[in-house]
Chains A and B, each alone.
Chain A
Amino acid sequence: MSIKNASFPWFGMDIGGTLVKLVYFEPRDITAEEEQEEVENLKSIRRYLTSNVAYGKTGIRDVHLELKELTLCGRTGNLHFIRFPTHDLPAFLQMGRNKHFSSLHTTLCATGGGAYKFESDFRTMADLQLHKLDELDCLIRGVLYIDSVVSSGPSECYYFENPTDPDRCVQRPYTLENPYPLLLVNIGSGVSIMAVYSENNYKRVTGTSLGGGTFLGLCCLLTGCSTFEDAIEMASKGESTRVDKLVRDIYGGDYERFGLPGWAVASSFGNMISKEKRESVSKEDLARATLVTITNNIGSITRMCALNEKIERVVFVGNFLRVNTLSMKLLSYAMDYWSKGQLKALFLRHEGYFGAVGALLELLHPS
């Protein structure tokens, strides 16, 4: 090998508004020689990360996403996907300090707003120098990379067949060959929408502040829940039509003059202007309505962007979609129905980790 690889450990980090996403490459082809030279700190980090699935109270390793036997820069190993809430970043830094991470003299590639916001904390609390990277660059690089390396196991990219028919709606693998042009919608705390024409040619079309953070924020206020998982769980049990005012609630059926079906939502939370109805809905109904409102709105804006940019394929990523089949089906439905089958909604299994993957790639192949 002519190019000298970056020294271990290989990390990529994406510090978002709500979650920190961390990818870690665990080399599995360590020679006995290397093993001997490997400093104790590095060994302990590797063991700590790979032998646990949870870290502290809130850190989680998404074991099901782990990519095994991956070849990266001539090395073979496993790629691990770890996340924890951004507000626990101080604990993470404390751990780094305790484990003398800085003694490894590694470059920590980080993206997301937090790379900027917490740069000085990394320096002062853990004596770490961050290599800051643009989040959209990383995101796109990560998406294209993961899609290209996943060959065995469940397909990385998938879609929902028959999205407008709940009984026949099934998840199907999708091959993302010749992906361009492509509309990439990243739903994190907020939403960014990019038109991607090639790996190096993309633009951010627009964004909206109504994203995953809004869903969780409103759910916490309306239901008293505190985690995304709880909110999604409640939403899955609720009925949004008790909260929303539908077209049929106003017109008794379809509004034919404008081709609006009776089941379409006319006014999100529209029924809640009535005191009786406010008193009769459950927390689950409210969570469901919040989910439906936010999801449909993202669908709407995405669809308009696709039309304006003349792009027919849309890939949705971001942690809002984690454990959230409900939203993915809603998005699939909305894309298909309102575009009369023109638009296809695609999803990726590593939904929220692409920024972190992109950061890792930057460490190995500086662009």
Chain B
Amino acid sequence: MAECGGGDSSTSSHTMDKSITLPPDEIFRNLENAKRFAIDIGGSLTKLAYYSTVQHKVAKVRSFEHHTEDAASDKLYEISVQEEVTARLHFIKFENAYIETCLDFIKDHLVNTETKVIKATGGGAHKFKELIERKLGLKVDKEDEMTCLIKGCNFVLRNIPHEVFVYAKHADSEFRFQTTHPDIFPYLLVNIGSGVSIVKVESEDKFERIGGSSIGGGTFWGLGALLTKTKRFDELLQLASRGQHTNVDMLVKDIYGGSYGSLGLTGDLIASSFGKSATADKEFSKEDMAKSLLHMISNDIGQLACLYAKLHNLSRVYFGGFFIRGHPVTMHTITYSINFFTKGEVQALFLRHEGYLGAIGAFLKGAEEDNPNQYSWGENYAGSSGLMSVSPDMNPLQRARSGTFDMLEMDRLERQLVNLPLLQDSSSYIPDTVDLTEDALAREYWLDCFEEALDGVVKRAIGSQPDIPEVTERAEKFRQKYRNKLQTLRHQPFAYGSLTVRSLLDTREHCLNEFNFPDPYLKIKEKENDMALKYYLKVVKSLEELGWEQRQLALVRGVLAGNVFDWGAKAVSDVLESDPEFGFEEAKRQLEERPWLVDSYDQWLQRLKGPPHKCALFFVDNSGMDIILGVMPFVRELLSRGTEVVLASNSGPALNDVTNGELQILIERIAAMDPVIQAGLMDDRLTLVQSGSSSPCLDLSRLDKVLAMVVRERQTDLIVIEGMGRAIHTNYYATLNCESLKMAVIKNSWLADRLGGKLFSVVFKYEVPAGKLSQNSSALTPS
């Protein structure tokens, strides 16, 4: 049911002396633009939500108008840094003891005056109503708690890919993040506050409280306080985690001497909770009683949840409420109970942002006119605290302090994101190849790797803004922030969901943006694009001189050689820094000779001897040599064969990856030189789309809606994914409903070693979905 409104009086006395330990302007960020406030006040924690607009510097490229071409300018395109306004949601969680201080701070910094009301929810909302209205001068508008909770839950399930996890206490990685099913409904939400509410959610607006129980968190706390004279909820959990319930509970074996075999009840099963304490002449330890109580309550809730899930035929059951809220002890006992009562058929699911659901929902209620659900949102790793590990052994006082302020920031994405229609099974698709949360060795390597690369990134960031004052200071702040993130991830790899190379790269991009380094590689990209354009015709000409079969191999080698030019790979960036003359031909010489590490080139060649593909979707990678001298000749060949080509590039910058904006200009330039490309553009057989992403990696379940539409309309039957980020770190195992080609050069010796190769090993993976083999059998001769 509700979160308890009246906490223990000792809580407030305990926190009286606290002052805000972090500078508040790092917590309540962007207050000057803030509007649409919402607040969720629980028994001990307050969650504040607001919407703000963030001014970002964004690098834009624009083609020079041809007729006004300035002879003095040898620049390829015009780069301008513009201010762009994006929307951001801020969520801050803090102890109730800070409410007054926080409200004062907000009042002092709030500039926007169009805000008149604050949406409020939670058991404590009425208690603080008067205080909020007085301090902020806003009218408190109460919203139904359960409605807010469900709205918030739908929002995080829809927008945060690694929101859901199962808890496995004894596994290498306690938190196992789940792929959220594209269709999030229906589900059961079991909210364990002071009591328990069991809610069936069928759609965005349709939900029903189908049941509940009065035995919940308040029972654990209240009864626990009576039994153990321990006042604080956290301390009770501490006690419980040290106790032995078998001293207090009557087990099956206490009655039977062993198991009750005919019913399959094992001897260790609890037959009667507190059954052994039915005596006046024995003392029981606080720890043992607390543990027994915890088991009693968790088992009971688990059992009821299972009965309701069964009755309503639901298999997705999420648990939340203050009883759960990040406490490993309760997550473990609930998981155990669900597993027991469903014989493993249902898994207990938990949410990373469970504590924010009410605040998110209240906010969404207030923001309905902005229609936030029509956008896609993304968790900003730079501005979010991440999931904290709460070790049960940790001193509760320490914990209270360390968890003082917790933040979540969500950015509104410019594009609405959807699944790639050609994914074979979107509900089981996992973009990332290696889960660093579970692979400790790989985790250590990559964390070190990103830390070592940090100097270079800082240098590049400074170099990208030579004329702007304070750039060094900002770059240092970036360094600090990203280093702290890496440090956090060393201790809590699960903080932002599964740790992956992709999440490490994305976090870096978020941190760079945070300090207004929108595109540190902008100038390098321009220089390399410019240089590569000069060689384009020469490369095309030399390819045309080759015979058909020779040319096919040369085209593939070209794509691979181009892919060597990757500033994201330290081994390459070191070379590029020290040897400005390093060029396309040198790169080709570095390439591994066939047979490659992964080599299905023969099958690909056979396929090319068959009928042309209808349409190829090409996810491109780097600027410069890669796109211009590697990818474009390959594309040109496809067009010549009669295959339509859709080039998908990033919506926003990431490393030296070519962005959609840049690619448009480059294609125009190439078209001006090359009639094949020109014709392709004219006939609409060559199309450019943006991927919707600003990451060096690729999540095929979050792609631009327009891209998905084009893929469907054109009956795409070939997908080409290029580069380490998109084809190795992610999507290496992705299975698609059409033919696919994954090409990359391994530019990291550790990874190469792991894959059984060496630096500059080649992965050329051509795959045909099982069912489609027969269709093309005329062209395919299995080797």
Please, which residues of chain A bring their CB within 8 A of the CB of B256? 113-114, 116-117
Q: Which of B297-305, B405-413, B466-474, B520-528 touches A? A: B297-305
Please, which residues of chain B bring their CB within 8 A of the CB of A113? 252, 255-257, 260, 271
Whether the pair A266, B194 counts as a contact (CB closer than 8 A) is yes
- Any B CB within 8 A of the CB of A245: yes
Q: What CA separation (Å) do A266 and B304 show in the bound complex?
A: 16
- Any B CB within 8 A of the CB of A273: yes
Which B293-321 residues sit within 8 Å CB-CB of chain A?
296, 299-300, 303-304, 307-308, 310-311
Closest to B220 in A: A269
Known: A218-B274, A270-B214. 6 other contacts (CB 8 A): A18-B275, A18-B278, A190-B250, A220-B280, A274-B6, A301-B304
Please, which residues of chain B bring their CB within 8 A of the CB of A324? none
Min C-beta distance of A18 to chain B, whole Å? 7
**15 residue pairs from A and B, CB less than 8 Å apart:** A113-B260, A210-B300, A214-B275, A217-B272, A218-B277, A221-B284, A245-B194, A265-B195, A268-B195, A268-B222, A269-B223, A273-B233, A274-B6, A286-B226, A300-B304
A 186-197 to B, binary, CB cutoff 8 A, 1 in contact else 0? 001110000000
Whether the pair B213, A300 counts as a contact (CB closer than 8 A) is yes
Please, which residues of chain A bring their CB within 8 A of the CB of B565? none
Closest to B227 in A: A221
Please, which residues of chain A bring their CB within 8 A of the CB of B272? 17-18, 188-190, 209, 211-214, 217
Min C-beta distance of A54 to chain B, whole Å? 21
- Mostly helix, strand, loop or mixed at chain A's interface? helix
Q: What CA separation (Å) do A220 and B274 show in the bound complex?
A: 10
- Assuming A213-B250, A218-B274, is B225 touching A278 (CB within 8 A)? yes
Q: Which of A100-108, A165-173, A302-310 touches B? A: A302-310
Whether the pair A209, B296 counts as a contact (CB closer than 8 A) is yes
A 127-148 to B, binary, CB cutoff 8 A, 1 in contact else 0? 0000000101000000000000
- Assuming A209-B299, A268-B219, A297-B300, is B195 touching A17 (CB within 8 A)? no
Q: What CA separation (Å) do A271 and B271 show in the bound complex?
A: 28
- Any A CB within 8 A of the CB of B175: no
Which B244-284 residues sit within 8 Å CB-CB of chain A?
248-250, 252, 254-258, 260, 262-263, 270-281, 284
Whether the pair B144, A273 counts as a contact (CB closer than 8 A) is no
Which B337-352 residues sit within 8 Å CB-CB of chain A?
341
Min C-beta distance of A118 to chain B, whole Å? 8
Q: Which of B193, B227, B257, B273 contacts A117 (CB 8 A)?
A: B257
B 632-658 to A, binary, CB cutoff 8 A, 1 in contact else 0? 000000000000000000000000000
Chain A contact-residue range equals: 35 or more
Q: Which among B123, B147, B250 has the greatest number of chain A C-beta atoms within 10 A?
A: B250
Q: What CA separation (Å) do A221 and B274 show in the bound complex?
A: 9
Q: What CA separation (Å) do A300 and B214 show in the bound complex?
A: 10
Whether the pair A267, B226 counts as a contact (CB closer than 8 A) is no
Min C-beta distance of A184 to chain B, whole Å? 15
Q: What CA separation (Å) do A264 and B216 show in the bound complex?
A: 14
Task: In the A-B complex, list the 5 residue pairs whose CB atoms are closest, starting with the nearest.
Answer: A272-B222, A217-B274, A213-B272, A113-B255, A117-B257
- Assuming A117-B255, A117-B257, is B307 touching A267 (CB within 8 A)? no
Whether the pair B255, A270 counts as a contact (CB closer than 8 A) is no
Closest to B226 in A: A272
Whether the pair A267, B257 counts as a contact (CB closer than 8 A) is no
Min C-beta distance of A138 to chain B, whole Å? 12
Whether the pair B273, A304 counts as a contact (CB closer than 8 A) is no
Q: What CA separation (Å) do A257 and B727 show in the bound complex?
A: 50
Please, which residues of chain A bring their CB within 8 A of the CB of B281? 226
Whether the pair A189, B257 counts as a contact (CB closer than 8 A) is no
A 160-179 to B, binary, CB cutoff 8 A, 1 in contact else 0? 00000000000000000000
Q: What CA separation (Å) do A38 and B689 show in the bound complex?
A: 103
Min C-beta distance of B119 to chain A, whole Å? 16
Whether the pair A267, B4 counts as a contact (CB closer than 8 A) is yes
Closest to B258 in A: A116
Please, which residues of chain B bring their CB within 8 A of the CB of A272? 221-223, 225-226
Min C-beta distance of B239 to chain A, whole Å? 15
Please, which residues of chain B bring their CB within 8 A of the CB of A119? 257
Q: Which of B146, B223, B271 contacts A190 (CB 8 A)?
A: B271
- Any B CB within 8 A of the CB of A276: yes
Q: Which of B7-15, B362-370, B551-559, B715-723 touches A? A: B7-15
**B interface residues (Cβ-Cβ under 8 A, vs A):** 1-2, 4-10, 123, 144, 146-147, 193-195, 197, 209, 211, 213-219, 221-223, 225-227, 231, 233, 248-250, 252, 254-258, 260, 262-263, 270-281, 284, 289, 296, 299-300, 303-304, 307-308, 310-311, 341
Whether the pair A308, B273 counts as a contact (CB closer than 8 A) is no
Q: What CA separation (Å) do A125 and B510 show in the bound complex?
A: 77
Whether the pair B9, A257 counts as a contact (CB closer than 8 A) is no
Min C-beta distance of A100 to chain B, whole Å? 27
Which A259-314 residues sit within 8 Å CB-CB of chain B?
260, 264-276, 278, 286, 293, 296-297, 300-301, 304-305, 307-308
Q: Which of B227, B299, B308 contacts A222 (CB 8 A)?
A: B227
Whether the pair A273, B218 counts as a contact (CB closer than 8 A) is yes
Q: What CA separation (Å) do A225 and B278 show in the bound complex?
A: 9
Q: Which of B194, B263, B278 contacts A220 (CB 8 A)?
A: B278
- Any B CB within 8 A of the CB of A30: no
Closest to B310 in A: A308
Q: Which of A217, A266, A275 contacts B1 (CB 8 A)?
A: A266
Whether the pair A258, B275 counts as a contact (CB closer than 8 A) is no
Whether the pair A216, B226 counts as a contact (CB closer than 8 A) is no
Min C-beta distance of B224 to chain A, whole Å? 9
Q: Which of B10, B221, B278 contacts A213 (CB 8 A)?
A: B278
- Any B CB within 8 A of the CB of A149: no
Whether the pair A273, B270 counts as a contact (CB closer than 8 A) is no
Whether the pair A293, B214 counts as a contact (CB closer than 8 A) is yes
Please, which residues of chain A bring their CB within 8 A of the CB of B270? 190, 209
Closest to B210 in A: A258
Whether the pair B262, A17 counts as a contact (CB closer than 8 A) is no
Min C-beta distance of B396 to chain A, whole Å? 16
Whether the pair A267, B218 counts as a contact (CB closer than 8 A) is yes
Q: Which among A217, A264, A267, A269 has the greatest number of chain B C-beta atoms within 10 A?
A: A267
A 351-363 to B, binary, CB cutoff 8 A, 1 in contact else 0? 0000000000000
Whether the pair B271, A307 counts as a contact (CB closer than 8 A) is no
Whether the pair A216, B278 counts as a contact (CB closer than 8 A) is yes
Min C-beta distance of B737 to chain A, whole Å? 40
Please, which residues of chain A bring their CB within 8 A of the CB of B307? 206, 301, 304-305, 308
Q: What CA separation (Å) do A291 and B673 show in the bound complex?
A: 88
Whether the pair A265, B214 counts as a contact (CB closer than 8 A) is yes
Q: What CA separation (Å) do A171 and B144 show in the bound complex?
A: 41
- Any B CB within 8 A of the CB of A5: no
Please, which residues of chain A bring their CB within 8 A of the CB of B277? 217-218, 220-221
Q: Which among B146, B223, B252, B310 has the greatest number of chain A C-beta atoms within 10 A?
A: B223
- Assuming A189-B271, A210-B300, A224-B280, is B7 touching A273 (CB within 8 A)? yes
Whether the pair A268, B218 counts as a contact (CB closer than 8 A) is yes
Whether the pair A270, B279 counts as a contact (CB closer than 8 A) is no
Q: What CA separation (Å) do A268 and B195 show in the bound complex?
A: 7
Whether the pair B280, A270 counts as a contact (CB closer than 8 A) is no
Q: What CA separation (Å) do A213 and B311 show in the bound complex?
A: 29
- Any B CB within 8 A of the CB of A238: no
Min C-beta distance of A232 to chain B, whole Å? 13
Min C-beta distance of A76 to chain B, whole Å? 35
- Any B CB within 8 A of the CB of A244: yes
- Assuming A245-B194, A268-B219, is B213 touching A297 (CB within 8 A)? yes
Whether the pair A225, B257 counts as a contact (CB closer than 8 A) is no
Q: Which among B146, B214, B296 has the greatest number of chain A C-beta atoms within 10 A?
A: B214
Whether the pair A270, B218 counts as a contact (CB closer than 8 A) is yes
Please, which residues of chain A bring their CB within 8 A of the CB of B123? 250
Please, which residues of chain A bring their CB within 8 A of the CB of B219? 267-270, 293
Closest to A113 in B: B255
- Any B CB within 8 A of the CB of A9: no
Please, which residues of chain B bring their CB within 8 A of the CB of A267? 1, 4, 193-195, 214, 216-219, 222
